[in-house]
């Protein structure tokens, strides 16, 4: 799980630039997922600086991230340094797991999904939102050409060109979410697209037993 490690040196500027690049819609995209998750105890997987904290409501939230530099800026009460592939929690200890803009950076999606299934209680749900390429070859090619220019320039504006070149490259890392998450221990309930050209994807999954 390398997202926090890659961006740890720009922790204080990371959320601000992401909001700018999304035209202020990144929190809205998070909320389309969080609003569908149950209450109770929630793991914010790849929590970073805590950008989603304000939309979690009265849930008990545990923030997990591999980068202490990110967590140091997170105002959540419970903060844990760790990775998705080896979650430091007991079995069946969470009602929900949320993850935003992290999955394309995981070392192992399958390993992380197995861990999420392990820590979720029966009936618990996982919600994921991430970036990728739009559906369709023409739209994907147009989007790829755009991000190859826009993301490095955006990164340069905060002294982080290499990090945003990396971001551009990760957008091609995985297949669409219905393929990526089809064979996990959880039941895939729904996927949907958000953002211009549908380059943001979201998914909802449930542990049945």
Task: List, in order of start, the domains of the chain with CATH numbers.
Answer: 3-132+173-206 (3.40.50.150)
pLDDT tens per residue, range 107-139: 899 999 999 999 999 999 999 998 877 777 777
Tokens matching residue 206: 């449930």
Half-sphere exposure of 22 (CA within 13 A, CB side): 21
pLDDT tens per residue, range 48-61: 999 999 999 999 99
CA angle 127, 9, 88 (to 5 degrees): 45
What's the pLDDT score for residue 205? 98
Nearest CA to 109 among 31, 196, 200, 188?
188
Checking DSSP bridges between strand 120-131 and strand 200-206, what pairing results, if any? antiparallel
Q: In the chain, what is the greatest distance between 2 CA atoms, to the nearest angstrom?
A: 48
What's the pLDDT score for residue 3? 44
Check if the beta carbon of residue 7 is closer than 8 Å to that of residue 70: yes
CA distance 196 to 76: 31
Nearest CA to 181 among 99, 119, 123, 68?
99
The mean pLDDT value for 164-186 works out to: 79
Element (H, E) at 120: strand 120-131
Residues 6+ apart with CB under 8 A from 24: none
What's the pLDDT score for residue 4? 46
The mean pLDDT value for 62-82 works out to: 94
What's the pLDDT score for residue 153? 65
What's the pLDDT score for residue 2? 46
Could you tell me the end-to-end alpha-carbon distance of the chain, in angstroms, rounded to an integer? Answer: 26
Burial string for 92-124 (b: 16+ CB within 10 Å, else e) reads eebbbbbbbbbbbbbeebeebbbbbbbbbbeeb
82 phi and psi angles, rounded to 5 deg: 180, 175
Residues 6+ apart with CB under 8 A from 168: 147, 148, 151, 152
């Amino acid at each position: 799980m390398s997202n926090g490690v890659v961006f740890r040196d720009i922790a204080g500027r990371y959320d601000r630039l992401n909001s700018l690049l999304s035209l202020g819609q990144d929190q809205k995209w998070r909320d389309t997922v969080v609003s569908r998750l149950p209450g109770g105890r929630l793991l914010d997987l790849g929590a970073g600086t805590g950008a989603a904290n304000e939309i979690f409501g009265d849930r008990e939230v545990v923030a997990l991230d591999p980068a202490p530099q990110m967590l140091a800026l997170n105002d959540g009460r419970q903060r844990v340094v760790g990775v998705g592939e080896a979650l430091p929690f007991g079995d069946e200890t969470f009602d929900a797991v949320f993850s935003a803009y992290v999955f394309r950076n995981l070392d192992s999606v399958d390993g992380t999904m197995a861990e999420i299934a392990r820590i979720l209680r029966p009936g618990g749900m996982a919600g994921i939102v991430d970036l990728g390429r739009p559906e369709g070859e023409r739209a994907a090619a147009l989007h790829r050409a755009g991000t190859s220019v826009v993301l490095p320039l955006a990164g340069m504006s905060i002294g982080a060109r290499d990090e945003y070149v990396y971001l551009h490259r990760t957008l091609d890392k995985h297949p669409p979410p219905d393929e990526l998450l089809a064979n996990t221990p959880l039941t895939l309930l729904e996927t949907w697209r958000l953002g211009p050209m549908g380059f943001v994807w979201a998914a909802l999954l449930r542990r049945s037993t």
